[in-house]
Structure 1
Amino acid sequence: MAERLATWVWVGAAALAFVAGMVNVVGYLGFEHQAITHLTGTTTLLGAALAQGQGGAALQLAGMVLAFVAGAALSGLLIQDSVLRLGRRYGVALTLEALLLAAAVPLFQRGQFSGPLLAAGAIGLQNAMATTYSGAVVRTSHVSGMFTDLGIMIGHALRGLPLARRRLWLCLVIISAFLAGSGAGAFAFANAGYAALYLPALLTGVTGVAYALRRRREG
């Protein structure tokens, strides 16, 4: 029988996927249709810009990729592990993500490219922070891998192979939370503009504080 995932893993994965969905849609709707978390698309556009000699666009796109990688590198410096487990510096990482998202708001509002760069760094930090737990890969900033795993499991089920139910539900939770975050982000952006990013910043900060309190309670 597959090991049961702790409740905090389910809640944390859903919360962070919701945050990523919100950040991504605000960037897409508000700043030159620039997706924040979708590095596959960004890299594709970077290749096209380089091929077409669009130097300015290429620099911006390369900046988004590098900002995401820098955020992931910061996570590696803080957490120093590829396995999700209690006891690491997740509270610090979540607090930094919240600060980056909050700092990005006025920059977005002034039309400065440093706004999406900070947002990309925040999501890179988040995605690297939640990597692997008990054999289940957790990716909260994008859902391509989740849909791929979902398709694989459907194929296995059609062949009569055992179904990885824990992985199935984890995929569905992350996909649903990312979708919900995208919808909430679009609604918030329509009503509050870039200030909508304060909501994922608040959610991330609260999650970090809750994590720190749990760690203290468990000693």
Structure 2
Amino acid sequence: MTDQPHDFLADTPAHWSVTATSTPFTGNKTGVRTDEVVMPDGSTASRDYQVHPGSVAVLAVDERDRVTVIEQYRHPVRHKLWEIPAGLLDVPGENPLHAAQRELYEEAHVKAEDWRVLIDLYTSPGGSDEAVRIFLARELSVAQGERFAVSEEEADMRHAQVPIDELVRGVFAGRLHNTCLSVGVLALQAARAGDGVDALRPADAPWPARPFAF
């Protein structure tokens, strides 16, 4: 293995030439795009992928080190999954922190005073352009005002506050499968074992995958 510069380990933007593109399906929130992409050897290959607006999720941790979780039916996998509050970036260019605060209020009727960026990720970069920002929210309290009116799958939600250690055990035992919950609780444990939560990025840190207005 050759020596690498200390800062080489970073994902970098790249754009291979596209000779043709089409959108064979457009849904309510997402769609499917087909691109003809020029490969390094000069050939072209067809690539199908989901076009997604992006998402935010919130790992909300209370003073007893419990995480706010919700159980929601997910039809594609035919499961009710325990998840953390999350939602789509419905408005182009929307500030992701504002979206996360909205989702925490709507899905859990909770507000938080301390917000940090926990982790950014692409959920399935081989087949979707979805980018997710997971926030860490602390100093929780019950939100003021009426609870948000729920419908469809959200009408069947269950809510719980679960110790983070129990969630970590559930992930490793194969009992919990939601991406944002799994990545979120493991990232928090890693942050605590490393430089600490105070070293996390601020809540308004730039997000090149989904640029937003400050």
Same fold (TM over 0.5): no
Name the larger-Rg structure: 2
Q: Which has the higher strand share?
A: 2
Larger helix proportion, structure 1 or 2?
1
**TM-score with structure 1 setting the length:** 0.29
